[in-house]
């Protein structure tokens, strides 16, 4: 059965795509949940409008994410922490602390889960940290840890 997707379905496609699926899958799952409609002449024109709207929405989201990434990586983030004479920290700087400081410094709400940090920072100096802003956009932030 040919259907037109109304919403994004993970294994099938994006809104506005015309796909062929099993009759039962379409009648019993996709159509009742509002995820798809049967393909007809008028519905195909509607599908084109859905596809264009989805493409525009995705482009706007990527542009916003790139702007946000630019603001995040514009200037280095300075974090003061207690450290010994050899530059090792008493404790560590975690993703949650970096997210909190980024939010304070830039005004952009950053979730700690979006900060990609392999291990907590345990020494002074400059460290490169990746922040996942959008599925297609990552920002690289320089975190400067200075001794207090």
Give the span between the Cα atoms of 3 and 65, in whole angstroms: 32
Q: Which of 50, 68, 86 is the last residue of a domain?
A: 68
Token pair of 69 as six digits: 């990434």
Task: Look at the chain and report how many structural domains it folds into.
Answer: 2
Q: Residue 35: give the domain boundaries.
A: 2-68
| pLDDT for the residue numbered 32 | 96
Give the span between the Cα atoms of 23 and 8, in whole angstroms: 19
Q: Give residue-wise pLDDT tens across range 51-101.
A: 888 899 999 999 999 999 999 888 899 999 999 999 899 999 999 999 999
Regarding beta strands 88-93 and 121-123, do their DSSP bridges make them parallel or antiparallel, or are they unpaired? antiparallel
The answer to whether 128 and 140 have CB atoms below 8 angstroms apart is: yes
Q: Are residues 77 and 139 in the same domain?
A: yes
| pLDDT for the residue numbered 27 | 95
Q: What is the pTM of this model?
A: 0.70
The answer to whether 131 and 101 have CB atoms below 8 angstroms apart is: no
């Amino acid at each position: 059965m040919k259907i037109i997707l109304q919403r994004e379905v993970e294994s099938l496609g994006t809104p506005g795509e015309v796909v062929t699926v099993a009759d039962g899958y379409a009648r019993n799952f996709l159509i009742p949940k509002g995820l798809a409609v049967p393909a007809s002449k008028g519905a195909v024109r509607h599908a084109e409008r859905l596809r264009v709207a989805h493409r525009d929405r995705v482009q706007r989201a990527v542009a916003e994410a790139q702007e946000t990434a630019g603001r995040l990586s514009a200037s280095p983030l300075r974090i003061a922490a207690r450290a010994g004479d050899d530059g090792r920290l008493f404790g560590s700087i975690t993703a949650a602390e970096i997210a909190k400081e980024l939010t304070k410094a830039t005004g952009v709400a950053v979730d700690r889960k979006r900060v990609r940090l392999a291990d907590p920072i345990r020494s002074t100096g400059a460290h490169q940290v990746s922040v996942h802003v959008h599925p297609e956009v990552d920002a690289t932030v320089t975190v400067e840890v200075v001794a207090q």
